Amino acid sequence: GYGNFNTPFVEAFLHQNRKFEDNFGVYLKYISSENGVENTPLDNGYRNINLGAYYMHEARYFTWKVGGNVRQDKYNWYGLPDITFDTQTIASIAEAQSYGFYELEGELVFKDSYIDDAKASLSMFDDKFGSQEIRFALQPNFEFPLTRINRNLNNLNLNTKIEYLGGEFEQTYDSDDNISYSFLNVGH
C-alpha cells in the first residue's frame, strides 16, 4: 500500500507445508514515511521493519520448531518549542533514535514423555544511545502420570521457568555513569 506523506506499506507472509512433516514460513512487514510534516527544520520520517521466519519438523516421538525475529525501528523527534533557534543549534540536535530487537527461539513438544514440552528463547534489544538488554528464557513443562499409584488420580503437571535479564544504559540522565542490571527468576 501507499499512503499520505510518502508512506509505503508492505506486509507479506509466506507459508509452505511439505509432506505433512515439515512446515516453514517467512513474515515481512515494512512501513515508513519520509519527512511528511511541513515547516519543521528537523527530520521527521520514520521506518519500521519486522522480519521473522520459522521452521518446524514433526518426527515420530516429538515435534521441534526453531524461529527468529528481527525488528528495526527508526524515529525522528522533530517537535521544537516556540523558541527561535539559530541554525547551528538546530544542526546540533540529534533527533533520530533507532531501536533494534533480535530474537531466536526454539520449542520441543514430546509425545508420550515425562517432558511435555520445552521452550527456549534468546533475545537482544539495543538502541542508538548505547542501551542494550539481553534476555534468556527456558521453560520446560513436565507431566507425571499418577495412575500407577492410584488410577483415580490425575496426572501431575509441573510448569517451570528459568529467566535471565541483563542490560545496561550507557549513561544516566544526570551524569555520564552507566547503569548495569541483571535479574534471574526461577519458578513459574
- 41-64: per-residue pLDDT in tens? 777 788 999 999 999 999 889 999
> How many residues appear in the chain?
188
- Rounded CA separation 16/116 (Å): 26
Beta bridge partners of 133: 125, 167
* Residue 78 banded pLDDT, cuts 50, 70, 90: low
- Rounded CA separation 60/109 (Å): 11
Residue 109 contacts residue 141 (beta carbons within 8 Å): no
* Residue 125 banded pLDDT, cuts 50, 70, 90: very high
- Rounded CA separation 44/47 (Å): 10
- Rounded CA separation 43/79 (Å): 10
